[in-house]
Amino acid sequence: MSELEATARKFVAAAFAALRAENAIPTSNFHQHLQAHVDFNWTAIQKLPAYAELVAAVIDAAPAGLPPATDDAGREYTVSLLLSSFLEYCVERCARAEDYDPGGVEVAVAVERLREVVNDQPYDLVVARHISHLVAEPDSEIEINGITILTDDEAGLVRRIRREIPDAEHAWKRIRPRPPYRPPYSLLIARTTVSGVDYHPDYGLRKVLDRFELTVALLTCANAQAAFQVSGASSRISGRPARLNERLMRDDEVSTVRRTARLTGTEGPMLEALSRLVDSAFDKTSGDEFWSSFRQALRNFTELDHTARYTEQLVQLATALEGVMIGAKEGEGLTLRLCSRVAALLASNDDLAQTLFEDLKQLYNLRSVIVHGGEMTMKEFRRTLNAISTVPASTGKDDDLDRIGYAVDRLRDIVRRAILARICLATGDPSPWPFRDEKRTVKVDIELSDDGVRAAWRAHWRDTLDSMGIGVAARRVEPPVHWLSKDDT
């Protein structure tokens, strides 16, 4: 038995004695996953001589992952996270076996896992994101570009989170997170291999899932929205306690229409191509500016359900469209500029320029009333909805809220295609409409007044998508379904 293993067993014996004194063990059969600072006094256990001995043994044995020796507080804090995880695991194993013998088999298993982590044995850092309106078909589990998509019922998704992140109970502290009722649901899982005694940050994995959501939305216009996510280690013992981000979705109001992305596993190349396209835009819009209207437009487009009220959604999408289609010094005649540019660039056989112009004019009329504090009678409101091509005719009942959902969906699809068109028009040498060019000023409205230039710009952005194998993204999307429809659950 190594010095680390002997010291670990000695610590467990002392800690179990303290837990018995607190009546923390034996645990109840209902709650066997005790947590430091919640179910027992971890500060008191840290004062045990055996704890200090184990901290020193871990620092001495760990080859990597600890902060520099000059950062004593950081080293000890990192080790404290590891050892609280270790003790929780010992209690959990012993509770399930109903055997709290510090020298027994259950503790031996936990000590071995501690030794592996301290000796730099690799494990995974995992982020599991619960998401609505994005599912795997026809199978219940597929993998796309390193991301696992699992479609199951609520219980099945929770079981998978626990399997991927054994410490998940630590994250939700006995009360399992419950998302708003927005079926269908899936789980997006991203992972990366890590090792060492460290609090491994999950920011990189969260960015991977954010980008995946963005590219799926650009491809399909699905209103896929994350409800919550759990991050943590695949190892039950680690210096990275599981963490829950619960409020990723608003549940005070529900969108009245929905569009679900049904992925088959073949979309990987298209999503990679869209990701490269977004990267190219980021490269061209990055600089010393404090604020990037284009980057904010992408956030407004993907995070639509973070603002669930239809009034906020209209404003958010309209702001995104302005950030994509209008320059920083082009505020004059905003509505006319937007309607003209969108009609000129997005028009196609299945979405005529006149229809785009009129729909966007009506949508901006609603946006202006909301933003500028104007008034609109119910008669005017219904007349506006009636003028939007995608809004179903009224049934004569109180269906105004349902109908405005279709209006919001129309604006979102326009924003989606405008984003793609704007990025593609900034590609090429020279590009028709660069994001920034100190040597050349493009007067967009003058350019688009010419029939030949207008046709060339339309062809340019669609041909760019075609050349990348994602021409389908340029098309107008099919109508959404009502949120209570059984067609999509």
d(CA 170, CA 174): 8
35 and 172 housed in the same domain:
no
| pLDDT of 140 higher than 80 | yes
291 and 364 housed in the same domain:
yes
Residue 258 lies inside a defined structural domain of this protein? no
152 and 273 housed in the same domain:
no
108 and 156 housed in the same domain:
no
Domain end position, chosen among 95, 118, 141: 118
244 and 273 housed in the same domain:
no
| pLDDT of 93 higher than 60 | yes
Residue 147 lies inside a defined structural domain of this protein? yes
Q: Could you read off the pLDDT of 218-234 as tens digits, one per residue?
A: 999 998 888 899 999 99
Residue 324 lies inside a defined structural domain of this protein? yes
420 and 286 housed in the same domain:
yes
Q: What is the pTM of this model?
A: 0.91
78 and 133 housed in the same domain:
no
Q: Residue 282: its pLDDT value, please? A: 86
301 and 440 housed in the same domain:
yes
Q: Residue 176: its pLDDT value, please? A: 82
- pLDDT range class, residue 99, cuts 50, 70, 90: very high
Domain span at residue 214? 123-253
Q: Residue 92: its pLDDT value, please? A: 94
In whole numbers, what is the pLDDT of the chain averaged over residues? 88
- Tell how strand 147-150 and strand 134-136 pair up: unpaired
Write the CA distances from 255 to 276, 310, 311, 441, 482, integer angstroms.
31, 8, 11, 41, 9
